[in-house]
Amino acid sequence: MTKLSVNINKIATIRNARGGNIPNVLSAAINCQLFGADGITVHPRPDERHIRYKDVLDIKPIITTEFNIEGNPNDQFIALVLSVKPDQVTLVPDAHDAITSNAGWDTIKFRSYLTDIVSTFKKAGIRTSLFVDPDIKIIEYAALTGTDRVELYTEPYATQFSANSIKAVEPFVMAAETARKLGLGLNAGHDLSLDNLRYFHQNIPWLLEVSIGHALISDALYLGLENTIQMYKRQLSGN
C-alpha cells in the first residue's frame, strides 16, 4: 500500500498571512493523522514564509505516523534535521527565493556533495530521499550517493496529463523501473491531485509514498479535510 504523506505547508501559509496562530499548524498535523494520513511532510525554507523552523521542532513530538522534512540542505537545515531526527529527510535543490520546488537534483554534478550529506543523515539513523527528475542517468547517479530512496518530481506529469496521459506517465514508469532495479525505494510528489493520482499509481504500483500538499489542502477547502484525505487514500487503493 502506497503511503500518503500530507504536506502542511499551505496551512502555515494561511496562518502567516495574518499572524497569530489561526489555523493552528500543530492541530492540522494531528488531525491529518487522525483522518488517515500515513505521514506528515514539512518543507521549511530560510525565509520561513510558511513552515517555520520552530514549527518543525513543535511538530515532531506529536507525530504518530511518519515525519518527513524536505528542503535544500544548507547548514541551518542540516542542523535542524539532525536535531529533530525525522523518519525521513528529502533533499530538494530549490533556490532560497523559489516559489516552489521546480527541478530535481543534478546527481551527476553534485554526486560528491550529496554523498557527504546523505552519509551524515544516514549515520544519524535518518532515511534519505533525493528529489529527482525522471531521468535514468540521474537516477543511476543518485544510487551512487548511497541514498535510500528517490522522489520523482511529478510536475511535468501533472502538466501533460490532461492532454496525453500515456505520454505523460511514460518517462516516470521508465525512471521508476530504473530505481527499482537499482534497489532504491520510490517516492513521488509535486502537483499530484485527485485528477491524476490514480492513473500515476496504476502505472507505478510499487510506489512507497506520495507527498501531496497544495492540491490536497485546496481540495479540503471545498470537501473538508477528513473527506479529502480519505478521497486521496482511495486513489491509492484503487477503490
In whole angstroms, give the CA distance from residue 196 to residue 198.
Answer: 6
Cis ω for the linkage preceding 23 (within 30 of 0)? yes
DSSP state of 65: S
Cell numbers found for residue 81: 534535521
| CA dist 141 → 61, 134, 148, 220, 223 (Å) | 35, 12, 13, 38, 41
H or E segment to which residue 166 belongs: helix 165-181
140 is catalytic: no
The catalytically annotated residue of 66, 70, 151, 209 is 70
The catalytically annotated residue of 50, 66, 151, 190 is 190
96 is catalytic: no
Residues designated catalytic: 43, 70, 190
